[in-house]
Amino acid sequence: MTTPATPPPQAPGQPFQQPQQGLGGPAGTYASPIPVRSPGLGDAIASEWTKIRSVRSTMWTLGVMIVLLLAVGLLSAFAVGASDAELEDTPVLSLGFFGVLLGSICVITLGVLTISSEYGTGMIRTTLTACPSRSRVLIAKSVVFFLLTFSITAVTTGIVGLLQTAMLGGATPGGDDWLRATVGVALYVATLGLLSLAVGALVRHSAGAITLMIAVVLLPLVLAMFMFSPSLADLQQALLEYSIPSQLAAFYDASVTPSGPSGWEPLWIVLGVTAVAMTGAFASLDRRDV
């Protein structure tokens, strides 16, 4: 089959010719009149964008996340403003933390659903028949999901931060504070979603993968709270420092422990974990039967 470098432009609305019978070739050479073009990653990304925007779960999870970020962020600012407490040293932007922690559960859900819903419905077989390259499908899904959640989280946290600083006085946040509380948090949350996507590809079951991811987010902190035995003190300290809520709080300089990751460190940690999980997801998608 010949592959023209650029397909001849098709006039809009003009129907393709129906395949003609008896093209004259020997048996086994049916040639389609539709221009043949080798698809690439760009086509897969366009396809995944169509997929993610055409199901309601995307709208619901992201809509709920935006509402949570705005509502919880503004309510906490209201509560602090009404209490007359002096917040000279408290960074105002840290009030956005509660909304982001709740919103990250929505991102986890969407990340898992992006791939596990294909397994649940059987759509994955249709997808992999249309594109046998597993890596292309997984990369396209990751890119579309990451960019979508990153941009929505960054914009929403930015709006919430602006409203909070307008409502409350307190210490004026610097440029680095702003960057970490918006772009940093958005990168962290979107990467957490990417980790969920990888877990979804490994577990292949929506409810199972979502439960697993929520346990990963919440359990270390809850377990650490009940570790009263002195012999477990080191483990308790590690769990407190490296639990996902603590890492997220580090972006606001509001971590539960003074030690532990700070600044941009949580992002490198979650990126490393996600890279490992993604490698596993690639291997699983490539090796296992669909």
Q: Which residues bind other proteins (CB under 8 A)?
A: 1, 3, 7, 10, 12-16, 19, 21-23, 25, 27-30, 32-40, 43-44, 46-48, 50-51, 54-57, 117-118, 121-123, 125-133, 137, 287, 289-290
The single-letter DSSP state of residue 92 is G
Per-residue CA distances from 180 to 147, 162, 266 (Å)? 18, 14, 11
Per-residue CA distances from 87 to 91, 98, 138, 181 (Å)? 8, 18, 46, 18
Please name the residue that has the structure tokens 């619901």: 60
Let me know: does 7 contact 33? Beta carbons within 8 Å: no
Q: Which CB atom, from 117 or from 237, has the smaller least distance to other proteins?
A: 117
In the complex, least distance from residue 97 CB atom to other proteins, rounded to whole angstroms: 33
> In sequence order, which residues have a C-beta less than 8 Å from that of residue 79 and are 6 or more positions away?
none
In the complex, least distance from residue 47 CB atom to other proteins, rounded to whole angstroms: 4
In the complex, least distance from residue 38 CB atom to other proteins, rounded to whole angstroms: 5
In the complex, least distance from residue 151 CB atom to other proteins, rounded to whole angstroms: 21
In the complex, least distance from residue 274 CB atom to other proteins, rounded to whole angstroms: 24
Distance of CA 24 to the CA centre of its chain: 52
Q: Which CB atom, from 10 or from 215, has the smaller least distance to other proteins?
A: 10
Q: Which CB atom, from 134 or from 180, has the smaller least distance to other proteins?
A: 134
* DSSP state string for 177-219: HHHIIIIIHHHHHHHHHHHHHHHHHHH--HHHHHHHHHHHHHH
Q: Which CB atom, from 7 or from 169, has the smaller least distance to other proteins?
A: 7
Q: Which CB atom, from 27 or from 82, has the smaller least distance to other proteins?
A: 27
Alpha-carbon span 42 to 58, nearest angstrom: 21
